[in-house]
Structure 1
């Protein structure tokens, strides 16, 4: 689960990390009163997605009237499909240098890793590898002063700034441990008037560790309406930005299907894992959900194990009988009761594939011609 910036900064403040003075507002009228008091500052859209700065969700204002105009505009914004829920109004601080600092869980080595760079203020993915320090942390030891000294040296911080960095890093790791975080990031970490200040903060916590979260940590709903509907059906679903809707049974086979679609020049519209034991009724509901997304093609890829191929065929034919399916559907069936499922589809005049490669190529072709049957 991701946290909003204002939530992250509240936690950082409680753990002794300096952040700019600021207040969050969900109501424009309340924001107006605050703007008249502060006069100038920075307005930041509060969304759980990235890229808000490039989208115009972060603005500097120099007087209350300008601030009110910007606040009103930002509160009406939608950034990467997410409506702005609140604005954070902060003081404008002088910036002498921008740095990058984060701690994240590296699943490959199964340890927390400290990431630091002098190139703050930009996406860390854009920074050359040689300009990034990656420092694995033994979870049995945690972050110590010597970690801070190494990071300070990499960032070119000496004297009091180096000591501040060491303390800040220890406190950041305390947040990381306390809140069962997958990522805690400060970008940029700025040097301002001989102080290190977290000008921005991001934090992702582990949903599976929710029972261990501190009681004061709020729960932010990140699922879209479609993802909530899929959850009610009992399937795993994530919206993507393509035009080929996908249903498969198992996370691995679903990811492989998405990769193949991309390999052959297509664009998947979603990730849908119908699970290993979905029945015909559940599969029919899942298929109905896919149809409602208005894709250019639908690809159903089933490797029958617990989920039988005849149940999948029955689900598709049920939906086909109940409503007109105007989008082309490509079905690949292999495994348990494959012969029964294929025969059911053939008797209804529906073609099926045994080769995933052929099925994907067909789906991509159909999507490229605009979904014509």
Structure 2
């Protein structure tokens, strides 16, 4: 789960991270009132959406405007906020559809001399938490890594020992920090590590981490993501969820405990088991088409759960065909058949459907599908299923 910048900063501040003063606004008038409480005569107004690149983004119909704006008075903050609220902001991460701006973060501006990059994330290959830092703050770290990989510094945190201060000191020296800034950098990394461990985060990113004009470190932007599997330990984190920023299909799937991720392809997939789901997506791609989703209904899904999954697939306007690939172990193929039949008649099956069943009660499941009256195709194996659904989708496009 992702959260907004202002929420991430509040969590990080509670762990000792130095951040500028600021508050979230829901109206232009509220933005003006917030600015009046902040120190200084420069203010930063930031669109709050779950996407990076806001400063380089633009509002639909206004390519010269961005999602991060400066203002020099409370009244100017109100004017800027009026131009940003309820507008669709397009960035490199939102795609052309963009995101509607419903909240703004008004923050005290600051003068700074340098921009650094800092993040903590899980290195799944090394199976440990990793600190990533760079002198090139404010830039896309992927671009920096591609063009100048020597400028991206990494330090692995031993899970048995935890974070050690010498690791941050070593990074600080390699980032060309000196004197008290080394001590401050140690505290910044310690704060990020404490927050990561306290909230079971999957990512903490501070970009940029700036050296201010008066020689201090300050986190100007912050991003946090969380491992939802640990939410049973952090019930309050669910209150930070902004459903307006989430795919409605993924919200519906979450209500039924389904593992669903929406993609950009046209063939909907319903599979039980993450490995089988990945293999299904790969073989669709190998046949020259793209999957519309990752959807794992799990090994012991109920009829209601499977029916909900099928309704989500059929409700996606991009889906031109559906492939169901089930290996019945704990899950019974006849239960799958019942759910598919019920959901098809409930929603209305208007796209080609290919079903591949194997395992427990496969004969009963296939017999139910055969006698259902639905227009569907049964496949013998995964390769056969992929070829049939791709052929059906392409034939539908030519009609």
What's the TM-score bracket when you normalise by the shorter of the two chains? 0.7 to 0.9
User: Is the 8 Å Cα contact of residues 231 and 238 (structure 2) preserved in structure 1?
Assistant: no
- TM value normalised by structure 1: 0.87
Aligned pairs for 1:8-19 (under 5 A) are 8-19=8-19
- TM value normalised by structure 2: 0.82
Query: Residue 309 in 1 paired to residue 310 in 2?
Result: no
- Give 1:293's match in structure 2, choosing from 293, 313, 316: 316
Report the counterpart of residue 364 of structure 1 in structure 2. Answer: 390
Query: Residue 248 in 1 paired to residue 271 in 2?
Result: yes
User: Is the 8 Å Cα contact of residues 41 and 61 (structure 1) preserved in structure 2?
Assistant: yes
User: Is the 8 Å Cα contact of residues 40 and 67 (structure 1) preserved in structure 2?
Assistant: no
User: Is the 8 Å Cα contact of residues 29 and 78 (structure 2) preserved in structure 1?
Assistant: no
Distance 2:394 2:201 in 1: 42
CA gap of 1:139–1:282, structure 2 versus 1, over 3 A, is closer
User: Is the 8 Å Cα contact of residues 142 and 173 (structure 1) preserved in structure 2?
Assistant: no
Q: Provide, for residues 293-329 of structure 1, a one-character-per-residue CA deviation record: whole Å limited to 9, x for no partner.
A: 1211111111222222233333333344556422111
Distance 1:170 1:156 in 2: 19
1:365 Cα offset (Å): 4.0
User: Is the 8 Å Cα contact of residues 40 and 64 (structure 1) preserved in structure 2?
Assistant: no
Query: Residue 146 in 1 paired to residue 166 in 2?
Result: yes
Query: Residue 329 in 1 paired to residue 353 in 2?
Result: yes
Distance 1:12 1:261 in 2: 42
Report the counterpart of residue 160 of structure 1 in structure 2. Answer: 180
- Give 1:205's match in structure 2, choosing from 198, 216, 226: 226
- In the alignment, structure 1 segments of 5+ residues that lack a partner are none
Report the counterpart of residue 2 of structure 2 in structure 1. Answer: 2
1:85 Cα offset (Å): 3.5
User: Is the 8 Å Cα contact of residues 28 and 79 (structure 2) preserved in structure 1?
Assistant: no
- In the alignment, structure 2 segments of 5+ residues that lack a partner are 58-65
Distance 1:201 1:282 in 2: 37
1:254 Cα offset (Å): 1.4
Q: Provide, for residues 30-57 of structure 1, a one-character-per-residue CA deviation record: whole Å limited to 9, x for no partner.
A: 1133456776422111123334334332
Query: Residue 94 in 1 paired to residue 114 in 2?
Result: no
User: Is the 8 Å Cα contact of residues 231 and 237 (structure 2) preserved in structure 1?
Assistant: no
What root-mean-square deviation, in Å, do the aligned CA atoms of Structure 1 and Structure 2 show? 2.9
Aligned pairs for 1:1-373 (under 5 A) are 1-35=1-35, 40-55=42-57, 56-62=66-72, 64=74, 66-78=76-88, 80=94, 82-128=99-145, 129-193=149-213, 194-213=215-234, 218-222=239-243, 223-294=246-317, 295-322=319-346, 324-347=348-371, 348=373, 350-368=376-394
CA gap of 1:263–1:221, structure 2 versus 1, over 3 A, is farther
1:88 Cα offset (Å): 0.6
CA gap of 1:372–1:327, structure 2 versus 1, over 3 A, is farther
User: Is the 8 Å Cα contact of residues 119 and 132 (structure 2) preserved in structure 1?
Assistant: yes
